[in-house]
Structure 1
């Protein structure tokens, strides 16, 4: 199994369980965030989506991070001018053979790659459909009262001169466009609805334009392609769409003088749209884009008082703690796929050994060697390497550390004392920890 195959397999295995865990944490945080407002709830779900994509690729362990911080602190005790550089050599495992199921792993990786390509192709097709719909739409020239309402709404949302066009490919008003915004409506839609409903439609679509929701939604879909196969991600995407519409509802309701009036207009518009929501194959953002109409109306009718001040800060902090705890748990329980190995037969009698690429297996804690203080004080210093042969047991602890190539006794003792305290993650072969033989090179250098 090659290194790329191992990385893909590790990403896939960890995404299988990490994505639902993040959804559960996102649901808890979103429930708390609702009392603050739809904007924070929407941000919670967007962060959840980003974590679902990024966390399966992260190899950092909380324990190793703490050790690295301690190492950085201890490294400051080396002294002025003294520098120690450490190089870990390639290692060998003994006692067990590695039986990689390369063909089976390759099949899994190929299937996963095909799924990513499928979702990417589907996204591309939807974008093509959207582009064709926009090109084929007929421009609408607003005049009179409608033009005044359009311009007034644009000024309220800080958007100038977006286009309006009619398309028979949609069942309700939608917003499209990356560089320039276009509001698309069904033929005759604006003429067949009440004047106050026109204000609601315009305000909602202008809210999407101000937030750049079309571009953001496209970015979310592209970023989520590596985990697009997972049903839990589909739930996250639905929650993002739902909370996004509630954010735009709140912005639009404020612009048209009240939530109650806005909610009544939504009900009338829903009754008029007999053809339903926009086609799901179209990558467009509209007033009925999310399948959450009932909850949106209920939220508008509740007239809930949002949290402010210290309570708002405390609730936001609680959401952050939930997210941090989830990240640390996901990283700490990460499933590691053993690095690929190349068989090398030992020269002496005994079982075959397997060479381990060092960059795939490194110490989680490295106590930095200290430049010999007595040598610095007497200015009797040496520059050069100390090469150590070490055996790391199944628990990741050095069980035997010996000098293979020394520099001088005080330098050798400094290197031995430090490396004996190093710790590794157990190296797994077929799911079982094995003993590893490797080398560590400590380079001593004293600047003049």
Structure 2
């Protein structure tokens, strides 16, 4: 368990620079695609967010597979930052903090998981609470929503529920999607504008956006500590709203009607749980401008300067940490090991067998970096020259796994004893 905690801690710390690189690369690509279709930017942002999950996950699997993680590995990325902060240039070892890092991460992830579960439970209870209520307004809008869903090519039944606690229509559920419509909004907003908002919600249903949004919440829960994850997730939601607006506007044939409906919602800004898709998601003014007067966006290079600075700092941290690991590994050696599959038993000299000569001989021999014996010498004689020579002949035919220093094969001397006996 301690080894797993060390590996998990190393994975969490390494994601600090991994997430930053993903975020910087995505920011550059999105800047280049700023005047392209929202679908392209949405795909790029979704891919980047999945990479934020896949990269550390693969790293953890690799660590678990080879057992390479050690408690000090998680600290290697930060060691250079605290160098010389204590006397005589002493290097602070942060390996002991790995357990605390994992504990805090697990606690925060658990809290966010509970929050996510409560959000799902609230949606389910809200739907069930209004399921059996007979409401003429709800029945009328349910019939209209079903007609619109059929026109949108949605084959599944889309339920509609009137609720009191929201200020904007919200879509939830995938297998049995439901649109929650505020009762006050249905009473105060003109029917044609409310239809435009429902068209927006049906676009989310048609595109299965609820599943993607649910996956976003899972990634946010696991990687909550990285700003790049939240930035990517917010960017995905903003692009998704633009896509849904475009889809709804095409189906309605009136972008202006949807823009007017969104302008009504601008006065009703509120906090919507991100487990559901709301019609007031994203920046409403940007969405209205996108519908009414889409204009090319100028590239703001000044905004990229801080991100580039962070990227350079991240690369510097990684380079320094890698150098620190190499320095730590330097000097670590492993002795040569005999390969018994390629080492035959020595042959007894015929004269020694006939005269029943015995003895022990100790040989010293040089193993080259390729694992072959380059030379040998008798360190301690058996007392019989033919037995000594037979031992040297046998050892020079053996192959070895060479010794290593800092992971590289090197030449080394070894000793071995041959015991010539007739037992």
Instruction: Please say whether Structure 1 and Structure 2 have the same fold, judged by a TM-score greater than 0.5.
Output: yes
**SS state of the match for residue 160, structure 2?**
strand
**SS state of the match for residue 17, structure 1?**
helix
Aligned to 2:276: 284
Aligned to 1:432: none
Aligned to 1:218: 214
Corresponding residue to 1:156 among 152, 177, 196: 152
**SS state of the match for residue 189, structure 1?**
helix
* Mapping 1:310-321, distance limit 5 Å: none
Corresponding residue to 2:126 among 118, 133, 140: 133
Change (3 A) 1:423 1:169: same
Q: Using the alignment, how far apart are the partners of 2:215 and 2:143 within structure 1?
A: 32
| 1:2 is aligned to 2:7 | no
Change (3 A) 1:234 1:111: same
* Cα pair 2:10 2:98 within 8 Å, conserved: no
**SS state of the match for residue 36, structure 2?**
coil
* Mapping 1:44-443, distance limit 5 Å: 44-59=44-59, 103-138=96-131, 147-148=143-144, 150-271=146-267, 273=268, 276-280=269-273, 283-290=275-282, 292-303=283-294, 384-385=341-342, 400=369, 402-403=371-372, 412=399
Shift of residue 127 of structure 1? 1.6
* Cα pair 1:119 1:225 within 8 Å, conserved: yes
Change (3 A) 1:407 1:132: farther
Shift of residue 411 of structure 1? 8.8
**SS state of the match for residue 166, structure 1?**
strand
* Cα pair 1:165 1:185 within 8 Å, conserved: yes
Q: Residue by residue, what CA displacement relative to the aligned partner does 1:383-402 show, whole Å, maximum 9, x if unpaired?
A: 94579xxxxxxxxxx99454
* Cα pair 1:199 1:256 within 8 Å, conserved: no
Shift of residue 231 of structure 1? 2.6
Q: Using the alignment, how far apart are the partners of 2:333 and 2:95 within structure 1?
A: 16
Q: Return 5+ residue gaps in structure 1 as ranges.
A: 61-98, 306-324, 339-352, 356-382, 388-397, 427-434, 438-448
| 1:13 is aligned to 2:13 | yes
* Cα pair 2:197 2:258 within 8 Å, conserved: no
Q: Return 5+ residue gaps in structure 2 as ranges.
A: 61-91, 297-310, 326-331, 335-339, 345-366, 374-392, 413-423
Shift of residue 34 of structure 1? 3.3
Q: Residue by residue, what CA displacement relative to the aligned partner does 1:149-193 show, whole Å, maximum 9, x if unpaired?
A: 640443224244311111112111101113201111111533432
* Cα pair 2:220 2:230 within 8 Å, conserved: no
Change (3 A) 1:101 1:13: closer
* Cα pair 1:178 1:214 within 8 Å, conserved: yes
Matched residue pairs, number?
314
Q: Using the alignment, how far apart are the partners of 1:304 and 1:254 within structure 2?
A: 19
**SS state of the match for residue 184, structure 1?**
strand
Larger radius of gyration: 2
Q: Using the alignment, how far apart are the partners of 1:157 and 1:412 within structure 2?
A: 72
Shift of residue 204 of structure 1? 0.4
Shift of residue 203 of structure 1? 0.8
Report 1 or 2 for greater relative contact order, CA contacts < 8 Å, sequence distance ≥ 6: 1
Q: Using the alignment, how far apart are the partners of 1:224 and 1:254 within structure 2?
A: 32
Q: Using the alignment, how far apart are the partners of 1:410 and 1:220 within structure 2?
A: 62
Change (3 A) 1:148 1:386: farther
Q: Using the alignment, how far apart are the partners of 2:180 and 2:159 within structure 1?
A: 8
Q: Using the alignment, how far apart are the partners of 1:261 and 1:205 within structure 2?
A: 15
Change (3 A) 1:399 1:231: farther
Shift of residue 333 of structure 1? 6.2
Change (3 A) 1:411 1:169: farther
**SS state of the match for residue 119, structure 1?**
helix
Higher helix share: 2
**SS state of the match for residue 170, structure 1?**
coil
